[in-house]
Amino acid sequence: MKLLITTGATVTFTRLLRFVLSDPMLSTYITTGFRHVTVQYGNEIKNGVHVSRCAVNEILRSTAAFKHFQVTDDTCSFEYHDKGGSRIVLEFLSFSPDLNSLIRSSDLIISHGGTGTLIDILKLHKKLIVVYNESLMDNHQKQIAEEFARSQFCVSVGSSQLEQDEFTGYLQALRDGKIVLTSYHSPVEHIVQSIVYRELAHARLHHSRAKS
């Protein structure tokens, strides 16, 4: 099984990165049955320093499993063998211009609360856990994530409430179908098209009146 973790492009979501790249979570991935984990860690660059990459490397240094690994390039991957002989591949990328194909090839996704990403994931009908960033100033991510969770499109967790056992529970329940998510459909299929066509008609009628 493949897991995708996407943390957003413009702001480094350190809290989520620290949680998903911890030793206990790594064993959770293995025991849950994931063999491939892709981590999109962000592309925040300030004064020529790749802030997101520095954050990831600092987190990796603090783990037991990956303390000797460093993310150096835009994409790179590491292989990890645990004591039981299970193998897991971790792939790191700062940012993907084509997130959709990554989403499509994943079985489960842990995502930040960015609206665009959420909608992309829901449209591809993937199992989704949203971790909304509670340190953002204007916290609409929380409202949207909770609204979506209420409609059972996803599971939502706040970045300050990340907790290993609970999270492992979500991963396993989603895997086993114990949490059943609703397929996302936009309720109004053609409304914007009708509005655009109607406004075009208004504009053109005005044109022809002005000419005649």
Partner 1 sequence: MEYETRILVRSLLVVLPLFVIVSRLIFVLPSVNSPVINDRADGAELPSWLSGSNIMIFLGSGGHTGEMMSILSKVNLTQLNRIWVVSSNDSTSILKCKEYEDTLKTNTAPSFISLLRARDVGEPLLSSLKSTIRSFIDTFLKLRQLPQLPDVLLVNGPGTSVPIAYMLFLFRFLGVGNTRIVYIESLARVNDLSLSGKLLLPITDRFIVQWPAVANRYKRAEYYGVLI
Contacts to partner 1 by CB under 8 A: 9-10, 97, 114-117, 119-120, 123, 140-141, 143-144, 147, 186-204, 206-207, 210
Rounded distance, CA 63 to CA 29, Å?
Answer: 15
Residue with Cβ nearer partner 1 (70 or 100): 100
The token pair that represents 179 in the structure block:
């949490």
Cβ-based nearer residue to partner 1, 41 or 69: 41
Q: Identity (one letter) of the amino acid at 186?
A: S
Minimum distance from residue 211 beta carbon to partner 1 (Å): 11
In angstroms, the CA 139 to CA 162 distance is 17
Nearest residue (CB) to partner 1, 66 versus 148: 148
Rounded CA-CA distance 132/139 in Å is 9
Q: Token pair of 158, please?
A: 């706040």
Nearest residue (CB) to partner 1, 136 versus 173: 136
- Rank residues 104 and 206 by Cβ distance to partner 1 and give the closer one: 206
What are the angstrom distances between the C-alpha of 133 and each of 11, 17, 78, 145, 193?
A: 10, 11, 27, 10, 34
| Cβ 21 to partner 1 shortest distance, Å | 25
Least separation, in Å, of the C-beta of 188 and partner 1? 5
Q: How far is the CB of 115 from partner 1 (least distance, A)?
A: 5
User: What's the closest the beta carbon of residue 139 comes to partner 1, in angstroms?
Assistant: 10
Quick one: 119 or 179, whose CB is closer to partner 1?
119
Instruction: Check residue 3 and report its DSSP letter.
Output: E
Query: Minimum distance from CB of 119 to partner 1 (Å)?
Result: 5
At residue 83, φ and ψ (nearest 5 deg) are -65, -30
Distance CA 113, CA 93 (A): 19
Neighbours of 108 (CB within 10 A): 19
Are 159 and 132 in contact by the 8 Å Cβ rule? The answer is yes
d(CA 123, CA 179): 19
